[in-house]
């Protein structure tokens, strides 16, 4: 679905970095600007929205948490992930994996959770 949306936005042109693997790679800092330059016929906000969705996925944060190399649009190395970025990636993955409280009760009715109630 992610690739379908990108193909729709760019006219079937998907940069190699996004097709290189089933798992996302850590992208170079400033890749949004590279996308805008590569696809000048596309409104920048559409590309920014797509890249934001791509980078919010847990798979992307896992790639950053692993560390190593960042990649440019062509799939070539373009910098390294810093230790601070790795730590942030691990923090985000932990938050995303944390169980969330149940919000829907019997019959699909929302469960009310009052602040300060124990």
Tokens linked to 86? 């790795």
Q: With contact defined as beta carbons under 8 Å apart, do 34 and 28 qualify?
A: yes
Tokens linked to 49? 């929205």
Task: Provide the Cα torsion 46, 49, 55, 58; round to 10°.
Answer: -130
pLDDT, mean of residues 1-28: 76
Nearest CA-CA partner of 7 in 34, 45, 44, 46: 46
- What's residue 80's pLDDT? 96
pLDDT band for position 98 (cuts 50, 70, 90)? confident
pTM to 2 decimal places? 0.76
Tens digit of pLDDT for each residue in 41-77? 989 999 999 899 889 989 999 999 999 999 999 989 9
User: How far apart (Å, rounded) are the C-alpha atoms in residues 98 and 78?
Assistant: 32
- What's residue 85's pLDDT? 96
List the CATH code of the domain at 2-108.
1.10.1710.10
């Amino acid at each position: 679905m992610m690739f379908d949306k990108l193909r729709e936005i760019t006219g079937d042109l998907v940069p190699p970095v996004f097709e290189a693997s089933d798992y996302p790679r850590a992208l170079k800092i400033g890749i949004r600007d590279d996308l805008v330059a590569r696809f000048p016929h596309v409104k920048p906000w559409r590309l920014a929205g797509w890249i934001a969705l791509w980078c919010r996925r847990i798979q992307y944060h896992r790639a950053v948490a692993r560390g190593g190399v960042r990649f440019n649009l062509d799939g070539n190395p373009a910098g390294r992930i810093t230790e601070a970025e790795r730590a942030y990636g691990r923090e985000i993955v932990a938050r995303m994996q944390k169980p969330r409280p149940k919000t829907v009760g019997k019959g699909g009715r929302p469960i009310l959770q009052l602040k300060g109630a124990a």
